[in-house]
Structure 1
Amino acid sequence: MDNWLKKMSSKQSSEKPSVVLVGRPNVGKSTLFNRITGRRRAIVTAKPGTTRDTLAEDTDWLGVPFRIVDSGGVFGASTDPLQMQVIEQGRRAMQGADLVLLVVDGREGCVSADEEVVREVRALGVQVLMVVNKTDDRRTKDNCLEFYQFGFEPVIEISAEHGQGIGDLLDEIIKSLPQPRETLNAENANGLAETKSEEVAVAVIGRPNVGKSSLVNRLLHEPRVMVSAQPGTTRDAIDEVLEWHGKHFKLVDTAGIRRAGRVASAEQVEAVSVLIAKRAISRSGVALLLLDAGEDVSDQDAAIAGEAARSGCGIVIVANKWDLRKSTDPLTAKNYDESVRRKLKFLDFAPILHISALTGERLSRVLETVDRVASARRQRIPTAAVNNFVEKVTRAHTPSRSGRREVRILYAAQIGIEPPSFLFFTNVVDKFHFSYERFLINQLREAFGFEGSPIKIHVRRRKK
């Protein structure tokens, strides 16, 4: 073991960055080690402290090599000479790490032993990713939220046993690691590294006869747009992939949009339209909600809009057939937008576009806006900035009091993207009024944007 430690500390022996798994006993470090390496070197049992050695394995993800280290448990005191050696070796491995994965148990939630681990990791000043393991059960969601109070970001939820979230974790690992010298040399030899644009899945939704097919057809035949068809995930679904200014957009189930117009009765049309919208929304990051600019917003428009809002996807309101409306109303845009906002109050965050799929008027703004909204959904705000925001906002507008108790926000962090989600720790949860949550959402938009994206708010009582 000592020989291995000498190799670990020597940069001459390996250019691979080291990633060290730490955490209290029985949180699943060994299971995660086996999952990442694809081997069963680490022994896994339900008994705490099973790992009696510091294991290391070279691996890679997306061509980026690194060394993963399973510490045998690096915290606590022991009189057992072997266990003392394991603890010391784990600490030394962590001190030489390029990245520490701090593994906790989502089923049990935050316990005092986790807080001890956090204190020691912070004292070493190493880079940390917090990994909440055993999150395969939906009932663990509240437990997971407890770990955001430590301020590490991002917090990654996984199930090492079932492989859930491992790809996302590995993506974050290579994003956090220093770039190996051999990778840099290869890039220098071949010129700039190729970057792949992230594909945005777009649902075109709306009631019948608002122009969904016309918009899809117009987008697919626009100059400067490259098109390819690929099978969707449902029967007979076809997704059309567009490349526009180097960015990729996938129009979800364009065949379904066209099929909806062939349904016989009015009742069937309405039901099928909502069903197709729900299915497309479930596979999309951004929804284009088409309205007929020549008509008032209908109840069916509102029903489809509600499905999009509940899904958490980004939303762009597209008023189609604008060429017909503007000829009858000189104050078109202002008057129309106000009427839409009155009917769809819950979509006050969604931008409104005025287009004509028939003539192509302002069509270029559609993909421009989708791109902005997709970026807004992926936006991350540093925890320090979130807490500075909280301090400023609460100073100007404090939450309502709970009897004699002052309701205070003690800490806050962004806990997710797509859609942006924020967690606020407070001293009193039951008196944290929903109107103040709405106020916080509006203030978050004013401070950070999030154009076209819903914002999710979670409130938890902070444990002492």
Structure 2
Amino acid sequence: MARRPIGPTVVLVGRPNVGKSTLFNRLTGTRRSIVAPIAGTTRDVIQQPAEWQGRHFQLVDTGGLFGATKDPLHAMVVAHGLKALRSADILVFVVDGREGIQTGDEEIAQQLRKYGHPVVLAVNKTDAKKASQQAATFSKFGFQPLIEVSAEHGEGIGELLDAVTARFPKLTAEEKAAHAEDAVGAAEDFSFSKGLGDSGEEEEAEVVEPDEDQEIAVAIVGRPNVGKSSLVNRLVKAERVMVSDMPGTTRDAVDVVLNWHKKRFRIVDTAGMRKPGKVFASGPIENVSVLIAKRAMMRAQVAVLVLDAVEGATDRDAAIAGEAQELGLGLIIAINKWDLVKGRGEDWVKKFDDKLRFMLKFLDYVPLIHMSALTGDRTSRLLATIDRIATARKKKVPTAQLNKFIERVVTLHPPTTKGKKDVKIMYATQTAIEPPEFVIFTNVADDLHFSYERYLTNALREEFGFEGTPIRLKVRRRAKKARP
């Protein structure tokens, strides 16, 4: 299937704290942008695909592009925001209906006229009677249409989307056919139970192949200032995410789409996650940033934990990795800034890796990649590993093949006795993918010794190639047959 474009680019622009991020979250049905009563909360340019009445588009929140701020990174914010404005197809000028026209609004209106893009004027916060009454005063800017909305309560959102999409180019016959195809495809659900029956034939472990349009969602996670944003920029070969030596530069979870070897990755750069006590003490902005980072992990398939080669691993790195494992994500440890330690010899590298493995011994199945976001060294290897792990997470093992394997490994190493009865493993089945999950049925036990479960997990991983992904194992006592 040919990959379709994401559609026109719609950019939200306005003074700080007029409700752009709330409107962005409302229009996309997400909590991607941080919302706080502090002007200039959003730094990065946040993008998210959106759809209205069959029309697809890319929605962009420009953050604190206009208005004075004490943020030391304001110049970088402005540079990224202006780039988004220049590439826009349609602008949504967001103003605050409660405050009325401010000097900043007039300055922005003057700037927008220079771009020559279609502008839809969204008068936000008009749920209050006074705000609704003075909404018409914004018509002096000359932008049409003027739509009254309440991003917080969802009022006027449909009318705003109608106004925006009415300014899109008309669909071609091919695009109309593609949208119809999407509607049919959306109704087709994958049934994992299909094909799990014991056919008696030897089958290979299958992979649920994504269609060409399906993305691999990747969360770049780690402590502040380990080089996450630099890595994202290196992968996409553009200054897409702000990079600074100042810890905590990234606040929002920033998505970028990357095409590599006929695969499409959605890379999410997240805010650095410090210890909970430090996050709480820093105030509401960092608290929300970390919450958004964790939500980004929840919608990812693979997490890349970025470490600093100079600093090595810390307890906080282990905690972040543990969260990714708990969520069932595929995981890679990317040891960044390797250019700063390169040349120290093979013995030093071995000791470094051994120490890292010891500290993160619960992640013995996770691949390590020594790389440099600065030089680009081994970034292609990182993408190849992400692809392999995403594929491994989709494997499903036919029941017949699985039970032949179980019989073999149990014969080599039987489970320990529970009480006075010998524990026998009767059969097994795979019940889920992403991550792979297996249920083991026994004669008497609802659980197995943790060391035996680890033995089975390691054997499954080696036999079927479940690289870099957690394997969930559940043990059930086989139900007794009812007597006639």
Normalised by the size of structure 1, how large is the TM-score?
A: 0.53
Which amino acid in structure 2 is aligned with residue 301 of structure 1?
A: D
- Partners of 2:427 and 2:279 lie apart in 1 by 54
Aligned counterpart for 1:268 among listed residues 278, 282, 298: 282
Matched, 1:385 2:385: no
- Partners of 1:288 and 1:214 lie apart in 2 by 13
Matched, 1:278 2:294: yes
Identify if the C-alpha distance between structure 1 residues 168 and 320 changes in structure 2 by more than 3 Å, giving closer, same or farther: farther
- Partners of 1:320 and 1:326 lie apart in 2 by 11
Residue matched to 1:188: none
Displacement of 1:171 in angstroms is 3.6
Answer whether contact 1:202 1:286 (CA < 8 A) is retained: yes
Answer whether contact 1:316 1:452 (CA < 8 A) is retained: yes
Matched, 1:170 2:192: no
CA RMSD of aligned residues (A): 3.2
Structure 1 residues 106-153: Cα deviation after superposition (integer angstroms, max 9, x where no partner):
xxxxxxxxxxxxxxxxxxxxxxxxxxxxxxxxxxxxxxxxxxxxxxxx
Structure 1 residues 136-189: Cα deviation after superposition (integer angstroms, max 9, x where no partner):
xxxxxxxxxxxxxxxxxxxxxxxxxxxxxx96863449x98xxxxxxxxxxxxx
Matched, 1:367 2:383: yes
Unaligned segments of structure 2, at least 5 residues: 1-184, 196-209, 242-250
Aligned counterpart for 2:464 among listed residues 443, 448, 456: 448
- Partners of 1:452 and 1:213 lie apart in 2 by 23
Deviates more, 1:406-415 or 1:434-443: 434-443
Answer whether contact 2:372 2:378 (CA < 8 A) is retained: yes
Displacement of 1:433 in angstroms is 1.6
- Partners of 1:409 and 1:288 lie apart in 2 by 36
Alignment of 1:217-296 (within 5 A): 217-221=233-237, 237-252=253-268, 254=269, 256-257=270-271, 268=282, 274-296=290-312
- Partners of 1:205 and 1:251 lie apart in 2 by 11
- Partners of 1:258 and 1:391 lie apart in 2 by 46
- Partners of 1:433 and 1:203 lie apart in 2 by 33
Aligned counterpart for 2:224 among listed residues 203, 208, 231: 208
Residue matched to 1:339: 355
Residue matched to 1:422: 438
Identify if the C-alpha distance between structure 1 residues 461 and 352 changes in structure 2 by more than 3 Å, giving closer, same or farther: same
Percent identity of equivalent pairs: 52
Which amino acid in structure 1 is aligned with residue 326 of structure 2?
A: R
Answer whether contact 2:336 2:373 (CA < 8 A) is retained: yes
Displacement of 1:195 in angstroms is 5.4
- Partners of 1:353 and 1:393 lie apart in 2 by 31
Identify if the C-alpha distance between structure 1 residues 282 and 355 changes in structure 2 by more than 3 Å, giving closer, same or farther: same
Displacement of 1:402 in angstroms is 2.2
Matched, 1:196 2:215: no
Displacement of 1:455 in angstroms is 0.2
Normalised by the size of structure 2, how large is the TM-score?
A: 0.51
Identify if the C-alpha distance between structure 1 residues 344 and 419 changes in structure 2 by more than 3 Å, giving closer, same or farther: same
Identify if the C-alpha distance between structure 1 residues 308 and 170 changes in structure 2 by more than 3 Å, giving closer, same or farther: closer
Which amino acid in structure 2 is aligned with residue 412 of structure 1?
A: A
- Partners of 2:293 and 2:461 lie apart in 1 by 27
SS at match of 1:402: coil
Higher relative contact order (CA 8 A, sep 6+): 2
Answer whether contact 1:284 1:313 (CA < 8 A) is retained: yes
Which amino acid in structure 1 is aligned with residue 365 of structure 2?
A: F
- Partners of 2:457 and 2:282 lie apart in 1 by 38
- Partners of 1:267 and 1:367 lie apart in 2 by 36
SS at match of 1:170: coil
Displacement of 1:266 in angstroms is 10
- Partners of 1:401 and 1:259 lie apart in 2 by 44
Structure 1 residues 237-275: Cα deviation after superposition (integer angstroms, max 9, x where no partner):
5421111111010012x3x44899xxx989539867754
Structure 1 residues 325-361: Cα deviation after superposition (integer angstroms, max 9, x where no partner):
1233443432222111101111111100010000111
- Partners of 1:250 and 1:199 lie apart in 2 by 6
Unaligned segments of structure 1, at least 5 residues: 1-165, 177-193, 229-234
